[in-house]
Amino acid sequence: MKEKNIPKYLQLKQEILSWIHSGKLSPDEKIPTEHEIASQFQLSRHTVRQALGELEKEGWLYKIQGSGTFVSKPKQIGKIEIKTVGILTTYISDYIFPHIVRGAEETLREKGYRLLLASTDNNKEREREHLEAMINQPLSGLIIEPTKSAQGNPNLGYYLALNNLNIPYVMINERYLEMSCPYIKMDDEGGGFLLTDHLIDLGHRRIAGFFKTDDLQGVNRLKGFIRAHQEHGVSLSTNNLISYTTEEKETKPLEIARFFLQQPEDERPTAFVCYNDELAIKLLDVIRQQGLAVPEDISVVGFDDSTFATATEVKLTTIRHPKEEMGIKAAEMLIQMIEKQKDDGIKDIIYKPELIVRESAKRI
């Protein structure tokens, strides 16, 4: 309750809604009295009464004469007249998500659902804000990509609120470790293994891996990278394991790649395995700036088989990401959950990685 330009009764209304959404107040639980709320927030009884009146009118609360005010059960809260599905992604302009959203939107539209789209910009606070806003909408369900999934889930209360409100949701690309909702993802460990296995088969023994490890996709790709070395009996130096965060992605991997390339030829890595195609394309520029060529001097492989993979003169060896198909399947899975009102029989989908071999890696 810190917004100066918002009427106090609306600030109080949002505060009480947050109690409901976070599970601080449960269905059929009695809320504090008007006097207690007024005293807690230093507000007039009139302001408190105005906020509670709106919440009661909207169906979030109900009164029992002589007993007090209580939290409504989920089924009592608002009637959904327009079927709406929210999609919460980490990025909207990312080269992967427009395809995922397109697939989901077409499937949802065919079934009479409209789409509510939001992006967290890979920020957990923004994830919280969007979850809170979406819970206040008359939602039928949600498709969610977790934000920085390897760094825990501080917004767990809002996911529990979705459960309490019987709003089904599906996760894409990854799933928070403590959640048990259905999800659709790539076998990222298998993809990291395939890329590294391919390079080792081509004779490479000094391979550097660049992985963004604040999400579980990157952690699992790194795991596959390490496993391929182990299974082939190829030694792996920790110096060739480069992990970075979202905030470091424009600097750290490029600086370290530049350092590698300035080493003597018999000491520098002969190949780079990249977290995704976006990074691979940036490293191609770093390699050119050092007067070297791909794949003549160094091999580079990416992940996702995006439009970036074939946009430059060097066509990238990479792993195919199902993109649009993932959006379609996520929408189909969610519709099944909405219309059956349960997730019994809904199975997770994990796509097997497919190696796309092009010209960015050579035999040595």
Mean pLDDT by 10 residues, the chain (364 residues): 67 84 83 92 91 86 87 60 86 83 91 90 94 86 97 93 91 96 97 98 98 98 98 97 97 98 96 97 97 98 94 95 95 93 78 98 96
C-alpha of 57 from chain center: 35
In whole angstroms, what is the distance from residue 305 CA to residue 356 CA?
Answer: 8
Phi, psi angles (nearest 5°) of residue 170: -125, 140
In whole angstroms, what is the distance from residue 171 CA to residue 174 CA?
Answer: 6
DSSP state of 276: S
In whole angstroms, what is the distance from residue 221 CA to residue 188 CA?
Answer: 5
Beginning with the edge strand found earlier in the chain, give each strand of the sheet holding 207-212 in spatial order. 241-244, 207-212, 271-274, 299-301
DSSP state of 74: G
In whole angstroms, what is the distance from residue 174 CA to residue 219 CA?
Answer: 11
- pTM of the predicted structure, to 2 decimals: 0.80
Which two tokens mark 254? 């490029």
Taking a C-beta distance cutoff of 8 angstroms, is the pair 316, 355 a contact? no
Instruction: Indicate the burial class of 182 (C-beta count within 10 angstroms; 0-12, 13-18, 19 or more).
Output: buried
In whole angstroms, what is the distance from residue 197 CA to residue 232 CA?
Answer: 8
Amino acid at 293: A
pLDDT, residue 353, reads 97
In whole angstroms, what is the distance from residue 175 CA to residue 156 CA?
Answer: 12
